[in-house]
A and B are shown apart, each in its own frame.
Chain A
């Protein structure tokens, strides 16, 4: 019985193929935009989380007013002071920056000590990892190796200095696989960051004390903030901006989409006044008419939503690939659910008024409509 009712809904929706098709297209474009932006913001957020989280450590210390991780500066005296603090097991510094390598600008460049725990999860596929005391050596990600054709033994020019590629690594995260790792001290010299790092990762002795120690660190070092890995992304201004923009665009998509759906459904019920009269005459209740119109608007918005999600998934990844962007933008279940929910909200919002109007028509007046 459900399947037949659904069949009637689809038949009714596609009675006016052009109009319904255009409405579906409008919704698809809106949902595509929303999905694409959600993909970018959740993808970037996930990468931040991964870099910070997977090397171990309970929290991260970075500069309070830095709009971006790459612009954060934490000096070595702070590192030393933290290492002296009671309850802290270890502290390790890392640099995140970008550099021009060969013809390519903005290659993710990580500065790490050879002893850095984070380095252990970078799986070496060719050559070797960085050793303590290495100078003029670099290990590079699989993606950049493939894209630029660099091999173990090649020399790379970074900021005018020559580095020998000693190994190629793979982590599975494009953010990392599209970058290079240089010993920390050399990045500090190269980028004029003597005794400075982008962030410190801190491991606490007793995991029950993480919050207490974080508070202590923040009160002791007022220039810095101590963040859990999940909080880091939310403190990135550019990421916040992307998130806010996607929220705003989602809102606009909902409003515009609802108006489009409403317009289509109002036109549809006006044309079908007599049909509604017949349905009322044969005993359909007001709420059945209401649900009929709502089902139709939902069908339009859900079809548009699905098309939008599929296009976004294909398009965003194709664009990222074409532009050789070292980012993973996976279509997660959460993301699909969010985009779908937006499509449903839009269908309900756009359909409710026409549905209500249709259900209020008197059968007599509707029947006498020519």
Chain B
């Protein structure tokens, strides 16, 4: 397991924001966390990202406990990338300079610049390098933030409401971009969101309520969803009931003289399997 939390608890005065959460996330997994306001989503994220320390419990990354890390700043800059919702970028710096920030003091100026340009191209902003955040659209700003989060090649990216201020189309674009990067680089993503459509793009949704995990749900793949839709269609009903009502089915070669052909049986077996096949 790449990331594990063990009885992770965070107390703010009287309030227990995170209550004894034990969780495991595989390397390269794309996970979303959902839950009502005050359910501890952001707190959990900040504990995992070493932005805050737990009251009790432990976070392990690659088997190493965070509490044992001496230089948490260096850990954050090298291993973790962050994407936040609001005022994510520094307003008086250009897109390029914003992306360079996490590399200050780690690599030379020329390399910093080259890497930032490469990443901005990856997120589709190769033409907007020298624009300041106010000259970029909301979606473009979040792309810059994604590029910035990735610039030191982190093993883990934590995104707190990354699409909170975006319209649904732009939200999907940003989340697809993150998924693409996750897949290509094998980076683990944890995305906190309110938006069920965004959450569904993850491989797994963790639901939080009152500081604890209320349930977890593997997201069905889009193909499975499509097959399920097919099963519920008139086409699927005829296959499942082994009863042809539409002569066109005979034309397709699914039925012959009222009974399922070999091809028809194969299709039926896919439809029957689809529901039980889930990715985890």
Cβ of B97 and Cβ of A1 under 8 Å apart? no
Q: Convert B78-105 into 0s and 1s, putting 1 for each residue whose CB lies closer than 8 angstroms to a CB of A.
A: 1001101011101111000100111011
With A281-B51, A288-B105 already in contact, the answer to whether A11 and B82 are too (CB < 8 A) is no
A282 touches B88 (CB 8 A): no
Question: Does B109 reach chain A (CB closer than 8 Å)?
Answer: yes
| Contact flag A11-B93 (CB < 8 Å), given A280-B73, A283-B74 | yes
Q: Do A367 and B77 have beta carbons less than 8 Å apart?
A: no
Alpha-carbon distance between A220 and B128 when the two chains are bound, in angstroms? 86
Whether, in the assembled complex, B182 has its beta carbon less than 8 Å from a beta carbon of chain A, the answer is no
* Residue A363, interface by CB 8 Å: yes
Which single residue of chain B is at the shortest CB-CB distance from A281? B82
B131 within 8 A of A: no
Task: Determine if A282 and B109 form an interchain contact, defined as CB atoms under 8 angstroms apart.
Answer: no
Contact with A along B45-61 (1 / 0, CB 8 A): 01001011000000000
The complex places the Cα of A326 from the Cα of B64 at a distance, in Å, of 78
A364/B104 in contact, CB under 8 A: no
Residue A279, interface by CB 8 Å: yes
Tell whether A285 is near chain B: CB-to-CB under 8 Å. yes
Q: Name the distance in Å between A9's Cβ and chain B's nearest Cβ.
A: 11
Is A284 in the interface zone, CB < 8 Å from B? Answer: yes
Report yes or no: B74 in contact with A12, Cβ–Cβ below 8 A. no
Q: Are the CB atoms of A11 and B104 closer together than 8 Å?
A: no
**Cross-interface CB contact of B76 among A1, A282, A370, cutoff 8 Å:** A282
Q: 8 A–B contact pairs at CB < 8 A?
A: A15-B91, A278-B84, A279-B101, A282-B76, A282-B77, A282-B102, A283-B76, A284-B77
Knowing A4-B109, A12-B92, A364-B51, say if A284 contacts B73 (CB, 8 Å): yes
> Given that A288-B104, A288-B105 are known contacts, is A278 also in contact with B97, CB under 8 Å in the complex?
no
What A residues does B241 contact at CB under 8 A?
none
Interfacial residues, chain B to chain A (CB-CB below 8 A): 46, 49, 51-52, 73-78, 81-82, 84, 86-88, 90-93, 97, 100-102, 104-105, 108-109, 112, 148, 152
Known contacts A283-B74, A363-B51, A367-B51: A15-B92 contact under CB 8 Å: yes
Cβ contact within 8 Å between B87 and A274: yes
Q: How far is the CB of A149 from chain B (nearest CB, A)?
A: 60
Residues of A within 8 A of B87 (CB): 274-275
Tell me if A275 and B90 are in contact (CB < 8 A). yes
User: A278-B88, A288-B105 are known contacts; what are 15 more A-B pairs with Cβ within 8 Å?
Assistant: A4-B100, A5-B104, A8-B93, A8-B97, A11-B92, A278-B90, A281-B49, A281-B82, A281-B84, A282-B101, A283-B77, A286-B73, A364-B46, A364-B52, A370-B86
Give the Cβ gap from B14 to chain A, nearest Cβ, in Å.
Answer: 18
**Chain A residues in contact with chain B, CB under 8 A?**
1, 3-5, 8, 11-12, 15, 274-275, 278-286, 288, 362-364, 367, 370
B154 → A minimal CB distance (Å): 10
For B93, list chain A residues within 8 Å (CB).
8, 11
Give chain A residues whose Cβ lies under 8 Å from the Cβ of B109.
Answer: 1, 3-4
A8 to B104, CA, bound (A): 11
B51 CB, min distance to chain A CBs, angstroms: 5
Given the interface pairs A274-B87, A364-B46, the reply to whether A283 lies near B73 with Cβ below 8 Å is: yes
On chain B, the residues within 8 Å of A1 by CB distance are: 108-109, 112
A3 to B, closest residue via Cβ:
B109
Complex CA–CA separation, A278 to B141 (angstroms): 15
**A286 neighbours in B (Cβ, 8 Å):** 73
A279 partner residues in chain B, CB cutoff 8 A = 101
Q: How far is the CA of A352 from the CA of B196 in the complex (A)?
A: 47
Q: A residues within 8 A CB of B81?
A: 282
**Which residue of chain B has its CB nearest to the CB of A286?**
B73
Q: Tell me how far the C-beta of B105 lies from the nearest C-beta in chain A, rounded to whole angstroms.
A: 6
Nearest chain A residue, comparing its CB with the CB of B73: A285
- The chain B residue with its CB closest to the CB of A279 is B101
